[in-house]
Amino acid sequence: MFENLISLDRSVFLFFNRHHSLYWDQVMWVYTGRIIWIPLVLMLAYVLFKKNWKEGLFAAVMIGLAVTLSDQTASAVFKPLFERLRPAWDPDFSPYVTIVNGYTGGRYGFASSHAANGIALALFTSLLFRRKWYTFTAFLWAAISCYSRMYVGVHYPGDILGGLIIGTVMALFVYYCLYLPLHRIFFVKGIFPSARPVYERSNDSIYVMGMIYFIFIFILIASPLINFAIK
């Protein structure tokens, strides 16, 4: 049964990895990088801090914790524990893999830290803002990020699925077991009585959502002209 799952995983990977063009190679190369998303992080920070810096700092720390736990669980625990070779590192499978700009990633790929980090950020902020269009946009952003990792040839679908599970668990844990209880203690019960309520139904989420779409469009238009390193 395990061999059947491996075979299915490889077949699904090839479905997502086999169709390439010079334009989409560059689009996915830029999209899967980190530098291009710095403006999104800055916009999120602006939205968190603009109403009340204490509440914003608390939310930012919790988001950082969710992403860090996701990243370290995937990279520092799962990758050395399972030692599953990335597609381009597998000597029996690498001839079938199309990579972009010669990038193969580290030796091991399970679980994907990109998928874990992306879904953790998308889910936590969606729970924070509670706006359906923001939630749709955040999860679309994370989904394309996951696809880009298969397109550039550095992760199997199974790696992505493992990362999604890790990121989901960490985001839910931090939000429900840390953020909400501590927020109640610090802000609702009056340690910081001047603080505003949590960000539920905040219209400010539209700024973050707008930045995501702006960067989408920028990548589609400008990606043939720019080249960011990825990890």
| pLDDT surpasses 60 at 96 | yes
User: Tens digits of per-residue pLDDT, 140-151?
Assistant: 999 999 999 999
Q: How many helices (H) and strands (E) does the chain have?
A: 10, 0
Task: For residues 21-49, give the mean pLDDT.
Answer: 94
pTM for the whole structure:
0.91
What is the pLDDT, as a whole number, of residue 193? 59
> What is residue 197's three-state secondary structure?
coil
How far from each other are the two terminal CA atoms of the chain, in whole angstroms?
Answer: 33
d(CA 12, CA 82): 20
d(CA 79, CA 157): 15
Domains contained in the chain, CATH given: 40-225 (1.20.144)
What percentage of the chain carries pLDDT values higher than 90?
74
d(CA 229, CA 231): 7
d(CA 97, CA 92): 11
User: Tens digits of per-residue pLDDT, 197-210?
Assistant: 677 767 889 999 99
d(CA 83, CA 87): 12
How far, in Å, are 44, 56, 109, 167 from residue 132 at the CA level?
Answer: 17, 21, 32, 20
* Mean pLDDT, the chain, whole residue set: 91
> What is residue 202's three-state secondary structure?
coil
What is the pLDDT, as a whole number, of residue 231? 44
Taking the CA atoms of residue 115, residue 116, residue 118 and residue 123 in that order, the dihedral angle to the nearest 10 degrees is 130
| Burial of 169: CB neighbours in 10 Å, binned 0-12, 13-18, 19+ | middle
Amino acid at 139: F
Is residue 111 within 8 A of residue 166, CB to CB? The reply is: yes
- What secondary structure does DSSP assign to 114-163, as a single string? HHHHHHHHHHHHHHHH--HHHHHHHHHHHHHHHHHHHHTTS--HHHHHHH
